[in-house]
Amino acid sequence: MKKLIFTLLLLSSCSTAEVPETATLPSFEATINGEQIFGIEGSYCGATMCVDKISPIDQNLDYSEYRLKEGDELIVKVKSSDAFKTLQFSLMDSEGTILDDDLMVEPQAEDGTYKIIDELNGDLVILTAWGDFENGDMTYYFPFTIEN
């Protein structure tokens, strides 16, 4: 019995686990008319590891909480201490069909704030924000309903 306990202690002291440092990774925020939209962190890669997350299509998302009407302002803000080399915003429906794979944006300031200026069509949609930075990449998803 003493050997078993010693072996378990020895094995547990030798194991190491990497903990993702998501606090140091860039992230995104989105707002409709100043009201923050709940975002879902997608897959990402950092300097030391990659994390593959479940697709938002396979999650039970609530699209009804946030509604975008004609004339509303949709803003995405990049929160990062690491500059993105590439930024891309796209729109897909609740089934995963890409509605627009390169949304037109208008930079609002040098603080990483972008206004989506494309006309958005669809019903239950997911805004995807993707960025490629020096040490990896990051994806965020924002589900909402478009009211036409």
What is the mean pLDDT of the segment spanning 1-18?
A: 41
pLDDT at 82: 61
Q: Distance between CA 84 and CA 96 in Å, rounded?
A: 25
pLDDT at 126: 92
Per the CB < 8 A criterion, the answer to whether 40 and 33 are in contact is no
Is the pLDDT assigned to residue 10 strictly greater than 80?
no
How many residues belong to the chain? 148
What is the mean pLDDT of the segment spanning 47-64?
A: 88
Q: What percentage of the chain reaches a pLDDT higher than 70?
A: 82
Is the pLDDT assigned to residue 13 strictly greater than 60?
no
**17 confidence band (pLDDT: 50, 70, 90):** very low
Is the pLDDT assigned to residue 11 strictly greater than 50?
no
Q: Distance between CA 139 and CA 68 in Å, rounded?
A: 21
Q: One-letter amino acid identity for 59?
A: Q
Structure tokens belonging to residue 107 = 């930079």
Half-sphere exposure of 9 (CA within 13 A, CB side): 6
**Which residue is it, tokens 């509605």?**
99
Q: What is the pTM of this model?
A: 0.78
CA-based end-to-end distance of the chain: 70
Candidates 50, 62, 43; CA nearest to 20 is 50
Is the pLDDT assigned to residue 132 strictly greater than 80?
yes
Per the CB < 8 A criterion, the answer to whether 69 and 103 are in contact is no
Query: Under 8 Å CB-to-CB from 20, ≥6 apart: which residues?
Result: 46, 49, 51
